[in-house]
Amino acid sequence: MTFHLRGVVLPGEEPRDLWVVNGRVRTRPVPGAETIVDGGFLVPGLVDAHCHVGIGPKGPVDISEAITQAQTDRDAGTLLIRDCGSPIDTRPLQERLDLPRIVRAGRHLARPKRYIPYLGVELQEQQDLPAAVAEQVAYGDGWVKLVGDWIDRSEGDLAPLWDDDVLAEAIKVAHDGGARVTAHVFGEQALEGLLKAGIDCIEHGTGLSDSTIELMAANDTALVPTLINIENFPGIADSASKYPAYATHMRDLHARNAATVGAAIEAGVRVYAGTDAGGGIQHGRIVDEIIALNRVGLSPEQAIGAASWHAREWLGYPSLEEGTAADIVVYDEDPRVNLETLRSPKLIMLRGRIH
């Protein structure tokens, strides 16, 4: 089928005409196209830049449950996912035309007893990290995921997993292989070493300070703050009574998180929307994350862009121009006026197919 859509294409202001042929956008008239949208607002498919297709509340899930997770994200308007670490092979999902595009980061790289059991690759020695990174570069889709810090039970609090020299070597291996690197980081101590080693993105970043924010801005390191996941920190603290220092630390990180992310935005750090869906966060909550980003300092348009056109460009998927993929979410009203509008798409089109 050949389709015609007319509406305001965000982030623009004036109505435009788009045609869709063989799953691609055309900007010149196509004879015989069926008009399916005449009015409203067209948003380049939403992006969840920190999502775990393949992880459920009890750990790894089977492929059928992973498909259901991806469908849930799609039905909320998420048409592009950066799968930020998964214990299962989700490549079969990439072959399905009805599921969001998935950019895989391979498996989390961690140390023994320093991450959630059964989710990551546990390296016995720090020096094994560069070789493990090389394996994930070959296995993933241009991203590698490190666990930067986690509770160290011998210390009773968050602590880094890797020495600075090991990080520098491992990140160089990824860059030489054409991949980018991101890291899970809750606390303060791991950030400087990761940033000085040239990491490309920080996940969560609750421990950012003025100095590490300045370093992120100078290095053009991206931040995916996963705000709706950080709301779980008080509950995590309540369940960690054996480690009072850790519990106090997690409550403090939670209490100042809005100010922390706001300071990063003010400093010019590029921020993208990621829900951390999988495990404790349900899939399909990208709109909640967009609203949370608006609450901590992004304008409504910036918050939508962090989950749409800006995020797509960052991940290498351009927005709605000649020849680009026809991944489009249509709304009756302008979501920049009321972000709640994002919960009620009029039409979802993925690869030129209507869902």
279 — pLDDT class (breaks 50, 70, 90): confident
230-263 pLDDT, tens digit each: 999 999 999 999 999 999 999 999 999 999 999 9
Show the CA angle centred on residue 240, arms to residues 238 and 245, nearest 5°.
105
Residues of the chain with pLDDT > 70, as a percent, come to: 100
17-36 pLDDT, tens digit each: 999 999 999 999 999 999 99
Q: Distance between the two ends of the chain, CA-based, in angstroms?
A: 14
Q: What does the pLDDT average to over 116-124? A: 96
171-191 pLDDT, tens digit each: 999 999 999 999 999 999 999
Delimit the domains of the chain by residue range.
3-43+319-354, 45-315
198 — pLDDT class (breaks 50, 70, 90): very high
Alpha carbons 77 and 221: distance in angstroms, whole number:
27
Nearest C-alpha neighbor of 79 from the set 95, 101, 97: 101
55-96 pLDDT, tens digit each: 999 999 999 999 999 999 999 999 999 999 999 999 999 999
pLDDT at 310: 98
Residue identified by tokens 């393949």 is 54
The chain-wide mean pLDDT, for the chain, equals 97
Alpha carbons 179 and 135: distance in angstroms, whole number:
11
Report the phi/psi class of residue 149: left, alpha or beta, with left for phi > 0 and alpha for psi in -120 to 50: beta
Is 0.85 topped by the overall pTM?
A: yes
pLDDT at 1: 82
pLDDT at 84: 96
Alpha carbons 242 and 31: distance in angstroms, whole number:
69
45-315 belongs to CATH 3.20.20.140: yes
CATH architecture of 3-43+319-354: Roll (2.30)
